Amino acid sequence: MEKRLLLVLFFVSLAFASGCAVQDDVELKDDKGSNESVRESEAKTESIIQKVRQILSGRSQPPQLGDLCTGDEECDEYCHSYSFECEEYCRGHPENPTCQEHFAFVIEGKERPSYLDYEGGTPFGVRKEKCNPQFEQFGASPLKIEDIGQIEPLGRMGSDHITPTDHMYLRPPNWGIDTRPRDVIAPGDGHIILIERLNFQSSADQPVAIDDYRVVIEHSCDIYTFFIHISELSEKVQDKIGEIRPGDIRKLRMPVEEAEVIGQIKLLPHLALLKVFQIDFSVVDTSAQQPGFANPKFIYYRVSEPWKTYIVDPFPYFKEPIRSQLLVKNLRRVEPFGGRIDYDIDGRLVGNWFLEGTGADIGGPKEGLDLYWQAHLAVAYDYIDPTQIRFSIGDYVNGVPGHFGVKGNSPNPAGIGIESGLVKYELVSFEHVSKDTGEVWDGFNYLLNLIARNREGEVRGVVLFQLLDARKLKAEVFPNKTAGEVIGFTENAKVYER
């Protein structure tokens, strides 16, 4: 013990001396050299502190998961991004101390815990640290008001968003014409707690490494915002996190102020074809779990997207006059104006469903599927005009998703239960048009008073449903068939759960 104490004192004094030496040296260098020296000093000091911690904890070696990662911080971030790889390693190495400490559930064959199961846990896998217990309404818009041409509310089902989308879309005006970069702004005071560089992938394209970031801000102990599709981080933020590879994340605690620019959106050349020139924006309130999830403890919500059941209409979280200025740009004209994503009614067809057995398997192939959303199905309502029924499925034909209206807009899925037996929907195309002029909305430029309209003559297929019990659904799609051509289920029917 005495030797360990001496070693600790030696390392602490060495860290102090190293910091002083660098500080003296900084005065002799230019700004660039100074910054580099300070960063080197911080890295050396952190390394020394890690060694001290190892000595005090009795560790002879830092935590390590084979060739995957070494050290607490590196393994924490790596396993946040690549949890399946870490779990697979620990499944084969139950003797590893880090596996025993952090992946005991794998070794014991138990269900993966949620981030929220841990004391001080958040939906984003970052522990709460001195969070602000009081929330003050946002006083800044996520994009400058003049940089917003339209706001699409929560709940859109399209492309690889099979269940209602948990974020808004804020698009600049004059889409495709005015392509100037736009600043992304922190709506209120808080701390950036997580940054992820995305591996961008759409339903029709292979993954492409691009500058595409997801940023999470903690505003209080319960309120968070997150942004997706930031093309370029601000210099301050980029300096804080350094280089980050596609697919990786950085956990941090960096203060930001209301109205501070945290990045930009840009119409980069490789994004133009994908029509990605917007900011995706969400508000999460962990004090307000939404009631329209039949089973909020379902493994997908607990593990894969633990923020999902806490997604709220963002507009009430903004102060005036910002709230009214944003609402003017919003396409939805009925409450909740920010849209919704929670449509489940226990024992009814309406809502979100997941292919049986896939649960939280958000990463790897299963049941012949390559992408997590191919295991999703939803029967809900249009995000702009909720009078219209929508059917959405991740694997409509050959792994390609499909999103449809229902011919005749009936029967209402909220009224379909076990007693309804076999139910048949004929699937049709749909569009949004201006109620005032009949002009068809192009999806990118604002139109006033939008309503949804089925193209009743464009039958695209048929879907059969049968509720087996309150939370189990049998379903089968028949692409390019009409109602008269479909009699009943075949061996291709699948079972979904929630």
Band of pLDDT at residue 34, cut at 50, 70 and 90: low
Structural domain boundaries enclosing 99: 64-110
State whether 68 and 36 are in the same domain.
no
Residue 437 inside a domain? The answer is yes
Q: Report pLDDT for 256.
A: 98
State whether 362 and 247 are in the same domain.
no
The mean pLDDT of 160-170, rounded to a whole number, is 97
Rounded-to-integer distance, Cα 298 and Cα 369, Å: 21
State whether 237 and 199 are in the same domain.
yes
Q: Which residues of 359-393 are buried (b: 16+ CB within 10 A; e: fewer)?
A: bbbbeeeeeebebbbbbbbbbbbbbbbbebbbbbb
Rounded-to-integer distance, Cα 68 and Cα 65, Å: 6
Q: Report pLDDT for 270.
A: 62
State whether 451 and 496 are in the same domain.
yes
Closest CA to 115 of 309, 359, 302: 302
pLDDT at residue 193 greater than cutoff 70? yes
The mean pLDDT of 364-380, rounded to a whole number, is 79
DSSP state letter for 330: B
Band of pLDDT at residue 265, cut at 50, 70 and 90: very high
- From 35, 57, 79, the end of a domain falls on 57
Rounded-to-integer distance, Cα 39 and Cα 17, Å: 15
pLDDT at residue 26 greater than cutoff 60? no
Q: Report pLDDT for 14.
A: 38
Residue 335 inside a domain? The answer is no
The mean pLDDT of 57-84, rounded to a whole number, is 80
CA angle 336, 337, 339 (to 5 degrees): 70
The count of domains in the chain is: 4
User: Residue 308 maps to which CATH number?
Assistant: 2.70.70.10
State whether 355 and 486 are in the same domain.
yes
CA 482 remoteness from chain centre: 36
Q: Report pLDDT for 378.
A: 98
State whether 41 and 159 are in the same domain.
no
- From 297, 328, 359, the end of a domain falls on 328
Least confident of 272-281, 358-367, 461-470: 358-367
**Residue 431 burial class via C-beta count within 10 angstroms: exposed 0-12, middle 13-18, buried 19 and up:** middle
Residue 155 inside a domain? The answer is yes
Residue with tokens 């009214």: 324
pLDDT at residue 3 greater than cutoff 70? no
Instruction: Dump pLDDT digits (tens) for 348-361.
Output: 999 999 999 887 55
Closest CA to 213 of 189, 237, 229, 201: 229
Rounded-to-integer distance, Cα 202 and Cα 350, Å: 26
Q: Report pLDDT for 366.
A: 53
Cβ atoms 153, 332 nearer than 8 A: yes
Instruction: Dump pLDDT digits (tens) for 303-346.
Output: 899 999 999 999 999 999 999 999 999 999 999 999 999 999 99
Instruction: Dump pLDDT digits (tens) for 237-250.
Output: 999 999 998 889 99
Q: Report pLDDT for 76.
A: 86
Rounded-to-integer distance, Cα 483 and Cα 426, Å: 6
pLDDT at residue 10 greater than cutoff 90? no
State whether 314 and 373 are in the same domain.
no
pTM of the model: 0.84
State whether 191 and 275 are in the same domain.
yes
Residue 48 inside a domain? The answer is yes
Q: Report pLDDT for 16.
A: 39
Least confident of 30-34, 82-86, 480-484: 30-34
Rounded-to-integer distance, Cα 217 and Cα 440, Å: 37
Partner residues linked to 478 by β-bridges = 462
Residue 253 inside a domain? The answer is yes
What share of the chain in percent tops pLDDT 70?
A: 83
DSSP state letter for 304: I
Cβ atoms 471, 498 nearer than 8 A: yes
Q: How far is CA 288 from CA 313, 331, 339, 421, 445, in A?
A: 11, 25, 16, 35, 33
State whether 290 and 159 are in the same domain.
yes
Q: What is the dihedral of CA 196, 201, 203, 205, to 10 degrees?
A: 170
Residue 469 inside a domain? The answer is yes
Closest CA to 191 of 218, 157, 221, 152: 218
State whether 381 and 233 are in the same domain.
no
- From 328, 358, 393, the end of a domain falls on 328
Which of the residue ranges 12-21, 79-88, 151-160 has the most confident prediction, judged by mean pLDDT? 151-160
Q: Report pLDDT for 112.
A: 84
Rounded-to-integer distance, Cα 188 and Cα 173, Å: 24
Cβ atoms 165, 341 nearer than 8 A: yes
Rounded-to-integer distance, Cα 468 and Cα 353, Å: 13
Average pLDDT, the chain: 87
Q: Report pLDDT for 32.
A: 45
Q: Report pLDDT for 72.
A: 85
Tokens describing residue 63 = 């935590």
The mean pLDDT of 209-236, rounded to a whole number, is 94
Residue 215 inside a domain? The answer is yes
State whether 168 and 259 are in the same domain.
yes
The region that residue 59 occupies, defined by phi over 0 for left and psi between -120 and 50 for alpha, beta otherwise, is: beta
State whether 223 and 196 are in the same domain.
yes
Cβ atoms 277, 181 nearer than 8 A: no
Instruction: Dump pLDDT digits (tens) for 437-467.
Output: 999 999 989 999 999 999 999 999 999 999 9
Q: Report pLDDT for 56.
A: 43
DSSP-assigned letters across all residues of 346-385: TTSS-EEEEETTTTT--SS-BTTBSSGGGGEEEEEE-SS-
Q: Report pLDDT for 361.
A: 58
